Amino acid sequence: MEISSCFCVTAAAVSVFTMLWKVREASGAGYQTAAFGTLIGALGASLYFLVSPVFCGLALLSCSFILICVTERRRKLLPVKSRAVLVTGCDSGFGHVLAKRLSEMGVMVFAGVLDVNGAGAQQLREPGSENLQVLQLDVTDSTQIETAHRYICAQVADTGLWGLVNNAGVLHCPMDAEIHPITGYIRCLDVNFLAPVKMCQVFLPLLRRSRGRIVNVSSMAGQVPIPMFAAYGASKAALSVFSQVMRLELSVWGVKVALIQPAGFRTNIFGNSDDVARYRDEILAGVSSEAREDYGEAYISSLPDSLSKMSQRSLEDLSPVVDDICHALLSVHPKPVYTPGHMGWLLPFVHRCCPAAVFDAFIVSLAEHTDLEPAGLSRS
């Protein structure tokens, strides 16, 4: 083999290694990095046949260098001194861990909780959390939002609010879209979409003052259609589009908007045994007689049990999501979209790139939540 050909092969190997390395560490933009790596490969193959192997090798090494520079540039963090962040949904889950993490880093944290006297709020008040203030904040209550706004205005004075993290969210119960009660759709839209919109509208004057950040916690279900997640996915899809529009509109003000789209993580969003019983009663009370006959009461009653199964299959370590939110808040160059978790970038990539029939078969095989099937299917 000629020396020039060996150089090209070596450069290709370096490019592939660089792409795989960056895909592994860039959980928030894995599909973008993979797409860039595919572009490098296609470019290399084209150049090899169109121009000299030496030029091909130089082009591949240049692309690898650009990929490394771009990703390393995004690692730089801002100083945390005099920065204040409001986080919603801090009773448990992502918000609870994030509030503690930011406080430990030296950020002034306003932790909004649904129950200011609850166990989660009490834990946030433990010694060592001097930078953390717990606020009563039901994000669906306009009065509580305005009260929190007045308090935070008095605290941050002329410096403004650096960050708003719209983390509070509800899942309700995964079930077929046809039999999902309208009240469930309304609840998901209220908490997952309309509440963040209201929060942004109220707190944007403070964010503009500091040229700060908005971080909206959406979900992979807001980008990828997943069976049984019509209500939740639709509300998160609305939040995703809203966030992208806000990112464009607020850029002229110097305010950056980032979207977090986690895969499955184990939080209290899956509810408890009382929630399961309440969902079962709510579904059976609201389903039409025709749907009850077609789906069968046994199938309908089994749907809320899927919550515990989903929780067990989800990742217990919440740090990938919290890491990405911190990066979105404090990085000099935050990403527009973060996709932490297993399948976080893979499923969106498959959804975008594969034929619909291939994706449909793939997602249906992954999304089986119950061992039963609707009664009408067994009769047909």
CA angle 199/205/207 to nearest 5° reads: 80
Residue 232 known to be catalytic:
yes
Q: Which of 1, 35, 151, 183 is nearest to 84 (CA)?
A: 151
Quick one: CA torsion of 226, 228, 231, 233, rounded to 10 degrees? -20
Calpha distance 161→137 (Å, rounded): 17
Within 8 A by CB and 6+ apart from 370, the residues are 299, 302, 303, 305, 306
DSSP alpha helices (H): ranges in the chain? 3-25, 30-50, 53-73, 93-105, 119-124, 142-156, 182-189, 195-210, 230-250, 273-286, 289-295, 297-302, 306-313, 319-330, 346-353, 356-366, 375-379
**DSSP designation for 323:** H
Within 8 A by CB and 6+ apart from 296, the residues are 372, 374, 375, 376
In the sheet with 163-166, reading across from the earlier edge strand, the strands are 132-136, 108-113, 84-87, 163-166, 213-217, 256-260, 337-338
Identified catalytic residue from 232, 279, 295, 338 = 232
Question: Which 3-state string (H, E, C) describes 196-247?
Answer: HHHHHHHHHHHHHHHCCEEEEECCHHHCCCCCCEHHHHHHHHHHHHHHHHHH
Calpha distance 338→24 (Å, rounded): 14
Which residue type, as a one-letter code, is found at position 327?
H
Residue 164: strand pairing partners: 86, 214
Calpha distance 368→346 (Å, rounded): 19
Catalytic residue ranges: 232
